[in-house]
């Protein structure tokens, strides 16, 4: 799963599928700087990792995103992120407060 | 560009976190290196953080203790290696319950659109240490649910917040 998203071509393919679901192989190829075979190989790895699903319509195969495995990554990041987010919220508030009081002081000094 | 982002590439030893403040670099730097300000932002907001030691110069030590309920406490310490106002802070970081697992923290401050972009690069001794840090949830902070897949994807295995 990590391997599947570790490659930047595959991340780009995932982005493309996420932006516009139900694309055919030809449509996906158009946005990638590589051969059709190359794109097929990458799609295959993504499908094996459970990140995309495909559906056959007539002669075409349409590609859809499966967000579940990505949610797992998100929760893996969750512990650290929530701590860091909280810390940054407070730091930002503190900086704003300090800035406001500095400005108030400058105004006062300017008046005096 | 998102205002904040955390990047943890798979199989790497590092975490890179960036955030943008709507304030000048000098101010951001001075707030971050002020021992009196530290308890107000560094620890989890539902707990009390105290500064045991904070010698903000190259070779100086720092130690913070976070106090929880029923006498629980968590202590962290390290050494400052570079204090270059208002550009860069380099220090080591160690959680005292996991002695020997030290990370090297580099915080960079850059001007950006009238504000300050702060980048923190944490380098761990192993991928396992890095992953352990990602998973640990000391303050059991509420994890916001992240339904916006688009964000996840554009952040490329890196979560943009």
Distance from CA of A3 to the nearest CA of B (A): 8
> CB within 8 A of A107, min separation 6: which ones?
none
Quick one: pLDDT at residue A103?
83
Q: Does B100 touch chain A (CB under 8 A)?
A: no
Class of domain A2-65: mainly alpha
Interface of A with B in 35-74 (CB under 8 A): 65, 67, 70-71, 73-74
User: Tell me, what CATH number does B148's domain have?
Assistant: 3.30.530.20
Residue A15 and residue B27: Cβ atoms within 8 Å? Answer: no
Number of H helices, E strands in chain B: 4, 9
- CB atoms near residue B19 (< 10 Å): 23
Range of the structural domain that residue B11 is part of: 4-160
CA–CA–CA angle A24, A26, A30 (5° rounding) = 120
Q: Does B3 touch chain A (CB under 8 A)?
A: no
Residue A76 pLDDT exceeds 60: yes
Radius of gyration from C-alpha coordinates of chain A:
24
Interface of B with A in 129-158 (CB under 8 A): 131, 133-139, 141-144, 146, 149-150, 152-154, 156-157
Distance from CA of B47 to the nearest CA of A (A): 12
Quick one: pLDDT at residue B58?
97
Quick one: pLDDT at residue B132?
84
Q: Which residue of B has its CA nearest to A78?
A: B143
Q: Does B104 touch chain A (CB under 8 A)?
A: no
Classify B12 as helix, strand or coil: coil
Q: Quote the percentage of chain A above a pLDDT of 90.
A: 38
Contacts of A71 in chain B (CB under 8 A): 146
Tens digits of per-residue pLDDT, A5-56? 777 888 889 888 988 889 999 999 988 888 999 999 999 999 998 999 999 9
Q: Which value does ipTM take for this structure? A: 0.73
Distance, in Å, from the CA atom of A2 to the CA atom of A72, rounded to the nearest integer, reads 11
Is B18 exposed, middle or buried, given 0-12, 13-18 or 19+ CB atoms closer than 10 A?
A: buried
Contacts of A99 in chain B (CB under 8 A): 23, 27
Distance, in Å, from the CA atom of A35 to the CA atom of A105, rounded to the nearest integer, reads 64
Q: Over B76-126, what HEC string results? A: EEEEEEEEECCCEEEEEEEECCCCCCEEEEEEEEEEECCEEEEEEEEECCC
Inter-residue contact A96 to B28 (CB < 8 Å): no
Tokens 């950006």 correspond to B112
Mean pLDDT, consecutive 10-residue stretches, chain B (161 aa), reads 80 92 91 91 84 97 90 92 97 93 96 93 94 66 30 37 37
Inter-residue contact B45 to B61 (CB < 8 Å): no
Beta strands B48-54; B159-160: pairing state: unpaired
Give the Å distances, CA to CA, from A41 to A35, A51, B56: 10, 14, 53
Beta strands B61-67; B14-21: pairing state: unpaired
Contacts of A76 in chain B (CB under 8 A): 131, 134-135
């Amino acid at each position: 799963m990590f391997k599947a998203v570790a490659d930047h071509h595959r991340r780009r393919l995932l982005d493309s599928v996420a932006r516009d679901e139900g694309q055919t192989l030809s449509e996906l190829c158009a946005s990638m700087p590589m051969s059709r075979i190359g794109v097929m190989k990458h799609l295959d790895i993504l499908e094996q990792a459970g990140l995309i699903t495909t559906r056959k319509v007539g002669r075409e195969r349409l590609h859809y995103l499966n967000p579940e495995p990505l949610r797992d990554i998100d929760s893996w990041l969750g512990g650290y992120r929530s701590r860091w987010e909280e810390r940054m919220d407070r730091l930002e508030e503190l900086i704003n407060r300090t800035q406001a009081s500095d400005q108030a002081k400058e105004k006062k000094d300017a008046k005096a | 560009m998102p205002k904040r982002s955390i990047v943890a590439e798979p199989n790497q030893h590092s975490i890179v976190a960036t955030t943008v403040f709507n304030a000048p670099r000098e101010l951001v730097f001075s707030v971050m290196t002020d021992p009196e300000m530290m308890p107000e932002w560094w620890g989890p907001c539902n707990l009390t953080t105290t500064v045991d030691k904070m010698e903000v110069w190259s070779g100086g030590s720092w130690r913070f203790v976070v106090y929880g309920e029923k006498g629980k406490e968590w202590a962290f310490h390290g050494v400052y290696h570079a204090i270059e106002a208002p550009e860069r802070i380099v220090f080591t970081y160690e959680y005292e319950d996991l002695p020997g697992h030290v990370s090297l923290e580099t915080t960079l401050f850059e001007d950006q659109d009238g504000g300050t972009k702060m980048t923190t690069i944490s380098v761990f001794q192993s991928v396992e240490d890095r992953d352990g840090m990602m998973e640990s949830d000391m303050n059991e902070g509420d994890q916001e649910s992240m339904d916006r897949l688009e964000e996840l994807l554009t952040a490329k295995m890196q979560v943009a917040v």
